[in-house]
Amino acid sequence: MFLRHRRLDVILATLMCGACGGSTSTVRPACPAGQTSLDGTCVTQQIADYVGCIRATGATVASDNARSLSAAAGVAGATASTQAEVKDKLEKRYATVSDANALEIIRHCASSTSATTAPSGEVVADSVRDFSGAQRQGGWQYGYSVGAGEFRNMSEFDGRRWSVDHTAYWTMIDAEVMHPNGMQAGSPMKREDHVAIRRWVSTVSGTIDIALRLARTGDCGNGATARVIVDGAEKWARTLKPEEHDELTQSIGANVHVGSHVDFTLDARDHDDLCDGSKFIATIKR
């Protein structure tokens, strides 16, 4: 047993080392039909999607063990024949060290990747239908960024809406409406640019169709800008003018993989967040 654990530690250390001296290159193998390469080993697409989800989700949470989880998932995936076997190996490993955060990611991705075989045309995510008071439920996260900074989860939920700090910022997200915060925030709110971000972590691979519904909820201010960003690349943007109260619709397509970040963002135009509450609803099909 000691030797087995010692061997796993060596494998994990090798994977995490990266460029720890000397140049190395990984040759991607020619995998048979129905399989794909995972860290140089041919595995089923479902295993690759599962490991990809764990790595992508783990990278979004504040955990000192995120890098270790990524490496452990790769080792388990490369030595397993089914997704269930990968999940079982990881659950046993992280139950032993009592890492609840890692276990949540492992189980979340197991349920998420089982949806990769959804029939074409089926709704795989709906921002109104799936809205909840739990981060990552249904693949959805409710967050913000300070300016163009990194995504952060919102921490307050009052039973109806998520917010950063309702006593200090306008930044909030509910089932339909989003609101940013700006440098010209009205009293008594703090002056800081916050982009409101409703994020969906993809549970499918391939082409998705995103149906958007948007409208302003206030008639003052200078407008707010809505965007759709997939894995860091902006796919669509529209500035909603103060007078645009009638619902606008828009459909866009995007290519995703399991674990892709599909962000629906709203920011204050010219840093002015006056009356920037806006309906921003998304329905995602594949």
Tell me the C-alpha distance between 192 and 182, whole Å. 5
More confident residue, 32 or 183: 183
Q: According to the model, what pLDDT value does residue 264 have?
A: 98
Q: What percent of the chain has pLDDT over 90?
A: 42
pLDDT digits (tens, 9 = 90+) for 30-76: 787 667 888 889 888 888 888 888 888 877 665 567 788 888 889 99
The model's confidence at residue 8, banded by pLDDT at 50, 70 and 90, is very low
Per-domain residue ranges of the chain = 2-117, 123-285
Q: According to the model, what pLDDT value does residue 212 have?
A: 96
Tell me the C-alpha distance between 240 and 223, whole Å. 5
pLDDT digits (tens, 9 = 90+) for 80-98: 888 888 888 888 888 887 7
Identify which of 116, 102, 110 has the alpha carbon closest to the alpha carbon of residue 83.
110
Q: Please state the pTM of the whole predicted model.
A: 0.64
More confident residue, 30 or 206: 206
Please, what sign has the CA dihedral across residues 61, 104, 133, 177?
A: positive
Q: According to the model, what pLDDT value does residue 186 have?
A: 61
Work out the mean pLDDT of the chain and round it to a whole number: 83
Q: According to the model, what pLDDT value does residue 23 have?
A: 39
Q: According to the model, what pLDDT value does residue 9 have?
A: 42
Cβ contact 162:173 at 8 Å = yes
The model's confidence at residue 126, banded by pLDDT at 50, 70 and 90, is very high
Tell me the C-alpha distance between 122 and 114, whole Å. 14
Mean pLDDT of 184-208: 88
Identify which of 92, 87, 93 has the alpha carbon closest to the alpha carbon of residue 110.
87
**Which range is most confident: 30-34, 152-156, 181-185, 242-246?**
152-156
What topology does CATH give the domain 123-285? Jelly Rolls (2.60.120)
Q: According to the model, what pLDDT value does residue 10 have?
A: 37
Q: According to the model, what pLDDT value does residue 59 have?
A: 75
